[in-house]
A and B are shown apart, each in its own frame.
Chain A
Amino acid sequence: MAKIKGAVVIDKDRCKGCDLCVVACPADVLILGQEVNGKGYNYAQVANSDECIGCANCGYVCPDGCITVYKVKL
C-alpha cells in the first residue's frame, strides 16, 4: 500500500498563535511553542514532523493563511 507523507511550513511572523491548527491536526504534529514572534504571539511549530500525513486540515482552518502543506506518495 502506498504510504503518504506530508510536511508543513508555517509562516511564523504571520502566525497569531490561535491554536486552531494544533487542535485540527489529527496526528499531533503541531504545537504552540514557548518562543514568541515579532507580534508577541506564541507561534505554531512543527513538533513531530514524522507523523504528518499532509491532510492539510491545519492549512484549511488557519484564519491567517500561515500554513503551506506538501504531500508525497512513497
Chain B
Amino acid sequence: MDTLEIIKPENKVYGKPRLMNDNPMHYCPGCSHGVVHKLIAEVVDDMGMAEKTIGIAPVGCAVFAYNYIDIDWIEAAHGRAPAVATAAKRLNPDKMVFSYQGDGDLAAIGTAETIHACNRGENIVIVFINNAIYGMTGGQMAPTTLLGMKTSTCPYGRNEHLNGYPLKISDLLVQLEGTCLVTRETVHTAAAIKKAKKMLRKGFENSMNGKGTSVIEFVSTCASGWKMTPDQSNKWMMENMVPMYPLGILKDK
C-alpha cells in the first residue's frame, strides 16, 4: 500500500493535541517541557474541560506556557503559582485549576506557597517539572541539583557541606494531610508518557472531586543546562536522576 493511501484522516492514530496551537514553542530542542505541555493539552481536552480550565504559569522556562495551550491562564510571580491557583480555584470552584512549575519555582523561592497550598489541601493540580537546574536563567544550581552535578553556580559539582542535599520535595509533600496524590513520572519514552498521562488525568479528576491537592512530578531533562544532547540527557536522567527521585506513586488516597 502506498504511503499516500495511508495518510488519510480516518487512519490517523496520533497528532499534535487540538488544544496545542501553532505558535512555535521557545523551548530548546528536546526539552521535556514540550512533552508535558502536550499531555496537559490532551488530558484537558479528553475531559471536555477546555473552556473550564485555568493554568497558572510560573517564572522559569515555562513562563510562556500560556502562548501554547489554548485554555485560560494567569501568569504568577516567581514561586507564587500555588497561591494564585488557590485564589482561582476558591473563587471559581467549578473550574479546573493547575499550577505548572519548575524546581526553582516550586522548591526554592516558592517552597512556602507549595507546602501551604498542599497542607490546606487546595483542590488543584501541581505539575512539577524537576530538571534539577534553573534552566531559564542559564543553568544555576537548584535545590534539586544532584550531589556532584556541575552547574554554573557549583562548577566543581554540588557539595553537601557547602550546598546541602538534593531536596526531595515530593517526599515532603506526601507527609501533608492535604495531598491526595503524589507521583513521579518521566516523559522519555512512549510507554512512560502514556503512564504519566493517566496520572495527570487522575490528578485533574481529584481536583474536580474535591479530594485535595495532587502533585505530579515529572523528572525531566534540560539538555541545554546539562550541556548534553537530548538523547544523552534522557539516558543521564534515567541513570542519575531516577535513583535520587524514584518513579511511581508516592501517595494515593
Contacts and interface: CB of A to CB of B under 8 A. Distances in A.
B16 A63 contact: no
B231 A5 contact: no
Contacts, number: 103
Given A18-B30, A23-B231, A24-B189, A65 B6 contact: no
A39 B34 CA distance: 17
A11 B187 CA distance: 21
A39 B20 CA distance: 20
A40 B194 CA distance: 31
A56 B7 contact: no
A57 B192 CA distance: 11
Given A18-B29, A61-B189, A68 B3 contact: no
Interface in A57-74: 57, 59-72, 74
A31 to B, nearest CB: 14
Contact of A68 (B16, B187, B189, B229): B16
Contacts of B38: 63, 65
Contacts of B137: none
Given A60-B190, A65-B17, A69-B15, A19 B6 contact: no
A41 B31 CA distance: 15
11 contacts: A5-B6, A17-B29, A19-B229, A24-B189, A60-B189, A62-B34, A63-B30, A64-B24, A65-B15, A67-B14, A70-B13
Interface of A: 5-7, 9, 11, 14, 16-20, 23-24, 39, 41, 49, 54-57, 59-72, 74
Given A7-B3, A65-B38, A74-B1, 18 more contacts: A6-B6, A7-B11, A9-B7, A16-B30, A18-B29, A18-B30, A18-B223, A24-B189, A49-B3, A57-B189, A60-B14, A60-B35, A61-B35, A61-B189, A63-B34, A65-B17, A67-B14, A70-B11
